[in-house]
Amino acid sequence: MYVRKYQQELYQGYRWSLTPAASCSPHVRRHLIYAYVWQPALQAILHVFSHPLLPLMSSADECALSRKVAAAPFDKPNADVILRSRDHVDFHVHKAILSIASSFFETMFTLPLPHEVDTTVSGEGGGQSVVQMAEESRTLELLLRFCYPVDRPQLEMADIFSLLAVARKYDMAWLTSQLQAMLPLLMDKDPVTAYAIVYQYQLSEEARSAATLALRLGQPELFAPRPILMLVPADGYARLLRYHHECGQAVSKLDPAHAGFAPWLPRQPDLRSLLCNTTRWKTERSLFTNETSRRNVHSWFIDLIQKACLALSRCPSTSILQPIYSELLEQAASCAHCHATAVHDSQHLREVFVARVEAAISEVSLDLPF
C-alpha cells in the first residue's frame, strides 16, 4: 500500500507542477527537487509512471464506468442472470427462458459459472450472476428478442449474418429456420450480399435463389465492392460470376440471327402479323421454324428478339424485358396493313419468348460444393 501511495504522489507532483507540491511527503518533495536538476530525465520519468502497468484507475473500474443497462424488457430487476455484451451493455434475463430457447444455455446454467459478479457495480442490487458474452450489444439484443415474447426487430442483411452465427454457436436450430424464412424478403435488395451470407453458412437452396435474383444485375453492380465478400472464399464468388455468365450465354443463343433458326417460334396461325408482306427482315432472309419449314418474318420481330437477346446476355433476367417490349410494340403497331393484329401477336410472342428464356436459364445450374 505504501509503495502504491508513493507512486501516486510522485506522479501527481510531476504532473501538476515543477514546484514541489505542498501536499507531498518530504521524501517525495526531495525527489521533485532532484527533478529540477535532472531536467532531461523528467520526460522519461513521466513516461515510466504513466505506463499501463501502473494505472491510477484499474481496468475493472474503467469498465464499470462505461457499463450500461440494456433497454426494456432486458432491464428487469427480477432477472436471475446478466448477459454482458462485449461493448459493456448488461442484459438482465431469465435462465428459464434461455434454457428453453437453447440447449447450450440450458447446459451452461447447470454448471458452476466461472465468474460471479454482484450487479451493484452497475447500479442494480441483487447479486445476479454475470456471463461475459463475445457478441456486441446489437447482436445480443436481436438474439434475445427472438427468445422473448416481444416484437420482432426489423433486420438488415448484416443482422442476418450475425444471427446465423450465434444460432449455430448456441445450438438454436429453430432460429436458423426462422432466419431462412426471412431471407427471401431481404434478398431482393442486394442478392449478391445475400448470396455471400448463405454461401458462408452452406444454405444451398437460399444460395440458388440469391444467384437467380442476381441475374438481373449487370456487371457494374455485380462487381461492386461489398464488405461481406471479404468473408467469402474467392471460389464461392467465382461460382456466382460463372453462373451469371453461363446464363447469359444460354439466352443469347435464342437470337435467330445467329443461325436463322427459331424452333420455339409459334406456328403461323398464331401470329398472323408475321405473315405481313409490307415489311420483312431487314437482312432479307427467311427463318427456319423447324427442320424443313421456312418463313419470311416481319422486321419488328427480329428487332424485338435481337435487342432482347443482347440485353439478356448482359442481364439474363426476364425482368428487364418490359422496356424493350414497350418500345418495339410501338414499331409493330405502326404498320398500316397489320397494326390491328400486331399488338395481340407481339404480346403472344412475348409470352412465348419469356417462357423460352426461363427454360434456357433453368438448364444452367449453379455449381455449389455443398
Q: What is the pLDDT of residue 279?
A: 52
pLDDT above 70 coverage of the chain, percent: 64
pLDDT at 226 over 80: yes
**pLDDT digits 0-9 by tens, 235-251:** 999 999 999 999 999 99
Segment 263-267 mean pLDDT: 59
Encode pLDDT of 189-208 as tens digits: 899 999 999 999 999 999 99
Q: Do residue 274 and residue 355 come from a single domain?
A: yes
C-alpha–C-alpha distance, residues 168 and 103, integer Å:
12
pLDDT of residue 153: 81
Q: Is residue 248 part of a domain?
A: no
- Domain assignment of residue 15, given as a range: 2-56
pLDDT > 90 fraction of the chain, expressed in percent and rounded: 41
Task: Between 112 and 262, name the one with better pLDDT.
Answer: 112
Does the residue 148 lie in any domain? no
Do 165 and 226 share a domain, yes or no? yes
Residue 51 sits in the same domain as residue 103: no
Q: Answer whether residue 190 is part of any domain.
A: yes
Domain presence at residue 258: no
Q: Are residues 306 and 346 in the same domain?
A: yes
pTM for the full predicted model: 0.67
Confirm whether 253 is domain-assigned. Answer: no
Mean predicted confidence (pLDDT) in 106-132: 65
Count the helix, strand and coil residues of the chain and give each as a percent rounded to the nearest 5. Answer: 60, 5, 35
- Tell me, what's the pLDDT at 160? 93
- The reply to whether 296 falls in a domain is yes
Shared domain for 273 and 358, answered yes or no, is yes
* Residue at 274 is within a domain: yes
Residue 368 lies in a domain: no
122 with 192, same domain: the answer is no
**For residue 215, is pLDDT > 90?**
yes
- Same domain as 75, residue 50: no
Q: Are 325 and 304 in contact (CB under 8 A)?
A: yes
Query: In the prediction, which pLDDT does 295 show?
Result: 59
* CA nearest to 267, candidates 293, 291, 285, 286: 293
Instruction: Tell me the pLDDT tens digit for each residue of 89-109.
Output: 999 999 999 999 999 999 999
Domain count, the chain: 4
b/e sequence 246-270, b meaning 16+ C-beta within 10 Å: bbbebbbebbbeeeeebeebbeeee
Do residues 171 and 109 both lie within one domain? no
What Cα–Cα distance (Å) separates residue 175 from each residue in 133, 163, 240, 355? 19, 8, 27, 37
List Cβ neighbours of 367 (8 Å cut-off, separation of 6 or more). 239, 242, 243
Q: Are residues 36 and 78 in the same domain?
A: no
- Does residue 109 share a domain with residue 90? yes
Least confident of 66-70, 198-202, 286-290: 286-290
Q: CA 270 to CA 234: how far, in whole Å? A: 49
Task: Quote the cell numbers at residue 20.
Answer: 514541489
Check whether residue 295 and residue 223 sit in a common domain.
Answer: no
Q: Is the pLDDT of residue 43 over 80?
A: no
Residues sharing a CB contact under 8 Å with residue 96, sequence separation 6 or more, in sequence order? none
